[in-house]
A and B are shown apart, each in its own frame.
Chain A
């Protein structure tokens, strides 16, 4: 109940933040612009519209999560609004979870709106409502949940600029870490292999949430892969949030 109150307040804060609308505007422009790109392309134009649309939702969603998420906790400490909050009967983890869920709610609404624009753009191209595309959006959203947790983790101990850099690095590393798998197969030295394996286990693999190609090209994916990706996302989010709570629990608000 207390988490809900903080989450709703965070939601109010986020939707009254101008940066959200700026990013939303660019996301919408980018999705609609995919039609122009499609006209200029030789080949399957519908696929271009879908590809660019999904990539835009992912990119602008991440930017929203990072730019708002990294400021959420920091601003409370910097503006000292946290003083009155912590003196109320709430536990510190409730505060942090409230912030997290508030931003997740904001992202849910923004992703839904972006998806609507995306589906409409596709509809004007194919005259079909392709709800199957939403499966790819669902996993983009799971990735956004994880990125939100990461942004909040960094926000607990760092300034928004540094936190944004760290969070975007997490996003980039996460999308390239799959190449470590190839490296593991090619490495001959056993200790080095072990090290890379440990690194791969620790680093996020955000490609697990990338079902864009499969959805756009209509490839079949076994349900267990979807299930694995969803569980991976939730477990990683829980791990990051636990870290954030541990750091936040010991913080002095000077």
Chain B
């Protein structure tokens, strides 16, 4: 597959404070995004995720390094014609109505009248805002702003879409809907570049990820390669036993009334525990093996980084 976005050795520093002091935010970032994939760009707050995005979109100029989008310079109009961008907590022209807002962005792509109207209608339907077409953006809720933001990012039917924390501030239903839209975009052949803190969502939908810590990419690759199938521990919930019975078998996590939840780390301890339950006529309510998650890897890497 061809790389649609190639970032090489990106450096960026800012001068901060009254007596300007140089602070290096990006310290040589390199990665590439392949056509048709959902690429997750992860990192703790202040790692430089948004700075990387801003460099890529031409909002700020890197001190050093190269960025190519579809083989063109990232600042060229050819590249910008083919991308879409939804910023983190989007701020839009609140004096415009939903319809006017999309119409404005469509004009920047010189879309014809008929094509423009059709695109706006279908995008409003896609993000579920058909009824808000005549409502001023100042009256939109945060979730609605996020949706209209996604609609403007898709106004030119882009091949590469940059989404900065798209799921932030949404309720669980909103998150699910947005996740579905992202998956649908992928199915339509679009490439998605996704910055997010919400690791479960990334884990659910991303093909490849890059983990950024302190301005450096410390790991990147396919999600399956990063997350192993190894069982870390088993979470057991049971009742009818006292904590003293369970000593040496696992680590109690919580207890509510008769119910105790404990983490069991060795497999032979599980067998012993099941035997004990049968012996004492107690009851097991659940037994869930926990494999390694992206979150575990992320926390570990950030700690090391």
Contact = CB atoms under 8 A, between A and B. Distances in A.
Interface of A: 1-2, 4-6, 9, 12-13, 16, 79-91, 250, 252-254
Given A84-B85, A89-B80, A89-B81, A252 B108 contact: no
Given A83-B59, A86-B59, A89-B109, A9 B93 contact: yes
B93 A253 contact: no
A5 B104 contact: yes
Contacts of A253: 54, 59-60
Given A12-B100, A86-B58, 6 more contacts: A9-B104, A79-B91, A83-B87, A84-B149, A89-B81, A90-B108
Contact of B57 (A2, A86, A90, A254): A86
A250 B80 contact: no
Interface of B: 14, 54, 57-61, 77, 80-81, 83, 85, 87, 90-93, 95-96, 100, 104-105, 107-110, 149, 152-153, 156, 162
Contacts of B110: 1-2
A50 to B, nearest CB: 37
A194 to B, nearest CB: 37
B107 A5 contact: yes
Contacts of B85: 83-84, 87
A174 B149 CA distance: 44
A80 to B, nearest CB: 5
A80 B105 CA distance: 15
Given A2-B108, A84-B87, A252 B95 contact: no
A16 B95 contact: yes
B60 A1 contact: no
A92 to B, nearest CB: 9
Nearest to B83: A87
A9 B92 CA distance: 12
